[in-house]
Amino acid sequence: MAEEPGYLIGPKLLAEIRNAVRHYVSMYGGGESTRPRQQTQDRRWAILGADLLAAVDSLTDPSTAQANFVAQKANGDFEILTESVTVVNRFENISIDAGTLIGVEWMAGEWTPYKADCPAMSGSMASGPGGGGGSLPPAESF
C-alpha cells in the first residue's frame, strides 16, 4: 500500500487549527466555558457559591469562583439550578461575596459579572443582623 502524502504542521497552522476548534466549540457546545446557543442566554442570573475576589491584574491575573445559574419558575419565583459555571472577575476594585445574586454575561469566552447585589449602606436598609443586604443564602442552599 502506497503511503499517503502528509502535511507538516508548523506553529502558524497549529494556531489556526486551535482558533477554528475554539470557534466551533463555542458555537456548538463543549463544556461550561462555551457560548450559550441562544442570544437570550448571553446574560443570566446566578448565585455565587464562593467569594469572587478582586482581580490582581485585569489582563493577566483575574479571580474566579463557581456560581449556579438561577431560573424563573412559572409562578415568577426564582430557583437555583444545578447548572454551574466558572465566573471570571477582571475588576481590580470589586469583589463579591458568596451567596450573592449576580448578573453574568458571556464576554471574550468567559462568564463575567456585570451587576451584583450590594450590601446595605445603613442599618435601616439591612435585611437582617450584620447589614448583609439582599444576598440570598450562601452555598448550602445549592
For the chain of 142 residues, list the mean pLDDT of each consecutive stretch of 10.
Answer: 71 78 64 47 91 95 96 93 95 94 94 86 41 43 38
- The helices-and-strands tally (H runs, E runs) of the chain is 1, 5
Residue 115 cell numbers, joined: 451587576
Q: Are the beta carbons of 103 and 45 closer than 8 angstroms?
A: yes
- Distance (Å, whole) CA 141 – CA 135: 12
pLDDT score recorded for residue 121: 52
* Other Cβ atoms closer than 10 A to 47: 24
- Distance (Å, whole) CA 18 – CA 20: 5
- The pTM for the full model equals 0.57
Name every residue whose Cβ is closer than 8 Å to that of residue 50 and which is 6 or more positions away in sequence. 65, 66, 98, 139
- Distance (Å, whole) CA 1 – CA 46: 58
- Distance (Å, whole) CA 28 – CA 23: 9
pLDDT score recorded for residue 16: 80
pLDDT score recorded for residue 19: 75
Residue ranges per domain, the chain? Answer: 42-141
Beta strands 63-72; 78-89: pairing state:
antiparallel
